[in-house]
C-alpha cells in the first residue's frame, strides 16, 4: 500500500466532508484553499517519487491485480495530478473574490473538492470500470457546478452539457460490457496483455468496434471534432471560477483517457485507429480556430480555442512516436496553465467592465496596464510566440510531425497557430487597446480585492514564463513520459507487482 | 436467449435515440435512462447467459461450487444503476428548474441565444 497514490484522492474527499460540517463561508473558503494546497503538495511528492523510483502502483484493499482495483502513477499521470493540484490552488484563491454569495451558500466549495477528487481518481486509476466511476464522480460534481448560478442561460447550458456527457458515459459502459464479456477482465494492464497475446482474444472486427466506442466516448469528453458542439454551447455559462476549472481540466481528462487507452490497449491495428485519430486531430484544430474567429465574446472565443488546442494534443497521440507523445504531454501541461489563466482574466475583465462582449469593452490598457501585461503573456503563449511555453510545445509537435513526414498535419498546425494569434489580437485590440466605449465605467476595487484577483493570474503568468525558460528540463520529464507510454513494460510490471 | 436480448437491446437503443432527439427535457431524460438500461443489458448479455450455481462459498470450503455464475457483471451493473439513479434525479431537478424559470421544458425555449 503506497500512501502517496491514495492521498490525491483522499485529501479532496476529506476536505469536502469537513466542509459539510462547517457551514460558514469564511471557513469554507480557507479550507478550500488549504485542501487544494495540500493536494498540490501531495501530488508533488507523488511525482518526485515516480521520477526517482519509476512507475508505482498500489492495490486497494490488498486484492492483487487483476482482481482488485489498482492505482497506478507513471510520469504522465504524476504530471497530470501535479497540474491538477496547481490549478485547484489557483482557482480556489480566485474563487474568494470571483464567486457570488448564492453559489457559495448553495455548496460550491464541497462540490469543487469532489470534482477534484474525481479528476485525480481518473488520472490515477488502472482499471477501466474504476475509470468510469471516477468519470461519473467528476461529471456529477461538474453538473452541479455548471447549474449552480440558476440563471436561464446556465440551465440551458447545463441541459446540453449533462445530456451529451451521459450519452458518452453510456457508450463507454457498453464498450466495457463487451470488453469484459470477451476478456473477463477490466484491469487496463491485464486487458493490454491479453490483447497483445499471440492468440487473438477478440476477433479483429470486434476489436475495431471497441476501439471506435472508446474513441467516441472519450472523444465526446475531450471535445474532438465532430463531437464538440456541446463545449462552446455550455462553457461560457457558469461562473468564472467554474468555467476556468472546466476549461483547463475536464476536457483534458478525456484527452488523458484517449492517450492512455490508445497507447496501452488499442495498439494492435495502428494503421486504422491512429490514422483516424490523425484525421480527427486535423479537423479539430481547424474547426476550433475558425469557430473562435467568428465569435465576439471572450469566453466563447476561448472555448473554441480549447477545441483547437485539443486537436494539437490528439495530433501528438496520432503521430505515435515517443517524441510526439512527449510533445503531447508537454502540450497538455502548457495548455492547462495558459487556458485557465485566460479564463481567470476574462472573469477579472467582467468584474471591471461588467461584460465579456468585446464591443462593450475597451481602454483596459490605459486603466489597468498590469492586467494588460498579464493578459499578453498567456495569450501570446497560446498562439505560440517564443520564448513562452506554447512556442516550445508547438515546436516539439511540429518537429515530431516532420519526423514521420505528416506534412499536411504540420501545415495545418502552423496555420492554426497564426489564426490563434489573430483571435488573441482581436481580444487585445477590442478589450485593451481601443478607447473605452461611452457609458462603460471601470469598477474601482479595493486593494485587497485586486490582490485576490491578480495573485492567481500573476502566478500562472509567471509559471508560463518559467515553463518557457525551463522548457529543457521539463521536456526531459515529458520525454520520459512519452517513452513510458510507448513502451508500457514498466507500467505492466508495476501493476503486476502492486501490493 | 442472447439473440432475444440482442433484439431487445437494439430496440431499446432505437427508442432511446429517438427520445434523445426530442425537444422536451422530460423525453430527453427518459431517453437517457433507457440508454443506461441498455448499457446494463449489454454488460449482462455479453458476460454470458448460462444456468450455473450461485458463487457462494459454503461453510468450511475455500472455493465456491463449480460451475458458478460470474458475480462481477452484476456488481458492475449495480454500480451503474446507482450512478444512473443519481444522475436521473439530478436531471429531473434541472428540468424542474428550467420549467420554474422559463415556464417551459422545451430545450429550444430555454435557450436564450440560438446563435
Is B87 within 8 Å of A140 when comparing Cβ atoms?
Answer: yes
Q: How confident is the model at residue A24 (pLDDT cuts 50, 70, 90)?
A: confident
The CA distance from A213 to A171, in Å, is: 6
Q: Is pLDDT of B113 > 70? A: no
CA distance A497 to chain B (A): 23
pLDDT of residue A137: 92
- Say if B15 is an interface residue toward chain A (CB within 8 Å): no
* Helix residue spans in chain B (DSSP H): 2-20, 25-46, 72-102, 107-110
The share of chain B scoring above pLDDT 90, in percent, equals 31
- Say if A180 is an interface residue toward chain B (CB within 8 Å): yes
Contacts of A194 (CB under 8 A, 6+ apart): A183, A185, A201
ipTM summary value: 0.90
3-state SS class at A105: helix
Phi first, then psi, for residue A186 (nearest 5°) are -125, 5
* Nearest partner of A87 among A218, A267, A246, judged by Cα: A246
Q: How confident is the model at residue B112 (pLDDT cuts 50, 70, 90)?
A: low
The CA distance from A401 to A317, in Å, is: 11
Q: How confident is the model at residue A450 (pLDDT cuts 50, 70, 90)?
A: confident
Chain B residue whose CA is closest to A153: B112
Mean pLDDT within A401-418: 91
Round the average pLDDT of chain B to a whole number and report it: 84
pTM of the model: 0.93
- A372 neighbors A364 (Cβ within 8 angstroms): yes
To which residue does cell 450455481 refer? B53
Q: Is pLDDT of A184 > 80? A: yes
Strand partners, A72: A57
Mutation choice for B interface testing from A61, A121, A177, A210 by most B CBs within 10 A? A177
Phi first, then psi, for residue B68 (nearest 5°) are -125, 160
- Preceding amide of B66 cis, omega within 30: no
Q: How confident is the model at residue A110 (pLDDT cuts 50, 70, 90)?
A: very high
With b for 16 or more beta-carbon neighbours within 10 A and e for fewer, the A117-147 pattern comes to bbbbbbbbbbbbbbbbbbbbbbbbbbbbbbb
Q: How confident is the model at residue B115 (pLDDT cuts 50, 70, 90)?
A: very low
Q: How confident is the model at residue A296 (pLDDT cuts 50, 70, 90)?
A: confident
- B82 neighbors B104 (Cβ within 8 angstroms): no
Round the average pLDDT of chain A to a whole number and report it: 89
B110 vs A contacts (CB less than 8 Å): 152, 155-156, 159
**What's the number of CA atoms in the CB half-sphere (13 Å) around residue A95?**
33
Biggest CA pair distance of chain B? 69
Chain B residue whose CA is closest to A155: B98
- Say if B83 is an interface residue toward chain A (CB within 8 Å): yes
First to last CA, chain A: 6
Amino acid at each position: 500500500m503506497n500512501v502517496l497514490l491514495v492521498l490525491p484522492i483522499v485529501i479532496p474527499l476529506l476536505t469536502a466532508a469537513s466542509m459539510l460540517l462547517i457551514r460558514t463561508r469564511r471557513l469554507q473558503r480557507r479550507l478550500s484553499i488549504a485542501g487544494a494546497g495540500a493536494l498540490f503538495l501531495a501530488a508533488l511528492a507523488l511525482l518526485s517519487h515516480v521520477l526517482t523510483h519509476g512507475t508505482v502502483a498500489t492495490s486497494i484493499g490488498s486484492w492483487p491485480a487483476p482482481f482488485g482495483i489498482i492505482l497506478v502513477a507513471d510520469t504522465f499521470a504524476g504530471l497530470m495530478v501535479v497540474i491538477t493540484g496547481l490549478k485547484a490552488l489557483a482557482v480556489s484563491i480566485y474563487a474568494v473574490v470571483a464567486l457570488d454569495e448564492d453559489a457559495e451558500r448553495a455548496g460550491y466549495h464541497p462540490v469543487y473538492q469532489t470534482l477534484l477528487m474525481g479528476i485525480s481518481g481518473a488520472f490515477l486509476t488502472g482499471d477501466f470500470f474504476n475509470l468510469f466511476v471516477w468519470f461519473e464522480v467528476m461529471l456529477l460534481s461538474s453538473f452541479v457546478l455548471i447549474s449552480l448560478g440558476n440563471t436561464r442561460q446556465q440551465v440551458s447550458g447545463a441541459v446540453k452539457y449533462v445530456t451529451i456527457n451521459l450519452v458518452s458515459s453510456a457508450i463507454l459502459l457498453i464498450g466495457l460490457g463487451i470488453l469484459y464479456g470477451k476478456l473477463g477482465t477490466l484491469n487496463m494492464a491485464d486487458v493490454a496483455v491479453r490483447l497483445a497475446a499471440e492468440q487473438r482474444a477478440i476477433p479483429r472486427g470486434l476489436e475495431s468496434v471497441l476501439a471506435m466506442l472508446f474513441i467516441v466516448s472519450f472523444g465526446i469528453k475531450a471535445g474532438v471534432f465532430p463531437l464538440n458542439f456541446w463545449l462552446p454551447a455550455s462553457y461560457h455559462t457558469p461562473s468564472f471560477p467554474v468555467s476556468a476549472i472546466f476549461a483547463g481540466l475536464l476536457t483534458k481528462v478525456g484527452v488523458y483517457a484517449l492517450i492512455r487507452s490508445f497507447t496501452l490497449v488499442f495498439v494492435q491495428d495502428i494503421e486504422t485507429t491512429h490514422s483516424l485519430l490523425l484525421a480527427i486531430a486535423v479537423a479539430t484544430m481547424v474547426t476550433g480556430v475558425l469557430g473562435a474567429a467568428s465569435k465576439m465574446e471572450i469566453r466563447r472565443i476561448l472555448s473554441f480555442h480549447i477545441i483547437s488546442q485539443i486537436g494539437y494534443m490528439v495530433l501528438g497521440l496520432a503521430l505515435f512516436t515517443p517524441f510526439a507523445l512527449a510533445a503531447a504531454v508537454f502540450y497538455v501541461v502548457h495548455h492547462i496553465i495558459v487556458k485557465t489563466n485566460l479564463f481567470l482574466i476574462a472573469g477579472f475583465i467582467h468584474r471591471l467592465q461588467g461584460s465579456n462582449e468585446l464591443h462593450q469593452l475597451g481602454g483596459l490598457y490605459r486603466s489597468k496596464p498590469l492586467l494588460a501585461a498579464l493578459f499578453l503573456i498567456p495569450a501570446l503563449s497560446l498562439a505560440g510566440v517564443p520564448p513562452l511555453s506554447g512556442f516550445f510545445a508547438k515546436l516539439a509537435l511540429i518537429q515530431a510531425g516532420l519526423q514521420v513526414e505528416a506534412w499536411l498535419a504540420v501545415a495545418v498546425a502552423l496555420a492554426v497557430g497564426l489564426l490563434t494569434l489573430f483571435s488573441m489580437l482581436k481580444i487585445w485590440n477590442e478589450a485593451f487597446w481601443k478607447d473605452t466605449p461611452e457609458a462603460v465605467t471601470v469598477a474601482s476595487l479595493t486593494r485587497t480585492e485586486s490582490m485576490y484577483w491578480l495573485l492567481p493570474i500573476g502566478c500562472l503568468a509567471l509559471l508560463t514564463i518559467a515553463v518557457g525558460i525551463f522548457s529543457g528540463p521539463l521536456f526531459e520529464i515529458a520525454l520520459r513520459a512519452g517513452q513510458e507510454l510507448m513502451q508500457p513494460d514498466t507500467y505492466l510490471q508495476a501493476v503486476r507487482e502492486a501490493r | 436467449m442472447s439473440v432475444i436480448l440482442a433484439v431487445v437491446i437494439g430496440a431499446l437503443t432505437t427508442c432511446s435515440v429517438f427520445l434523445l432527439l426530442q425537444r422536451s427535457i422530460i423525453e430527453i431524460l427518459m431517453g437517457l435512462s433507457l440508454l443506461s438500461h441498455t448499457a446494463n443489458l449489454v454488460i449482462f448479455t455479453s458476460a454470458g447467459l448460462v444456468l450455473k450455481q450461485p458463487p457462494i462459498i459454503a461453510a468450511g470450503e475455500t472455493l465456491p461450487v463449480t460451475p458458478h455464475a460470474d458475480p462481477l457483471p452484476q456488481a458492475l451493473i449495480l454500480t451503474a444503476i446507482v450512478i444512473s439513479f443519481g444522475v436521473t434525479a439530478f436531471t429531473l431537478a434541472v428540468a424542474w428548474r428550467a420549467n420554474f424559470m422559463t415556464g417551459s421544458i422545451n430545450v429550444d425555449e430555454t435557450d436564450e441565444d440560438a446563435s
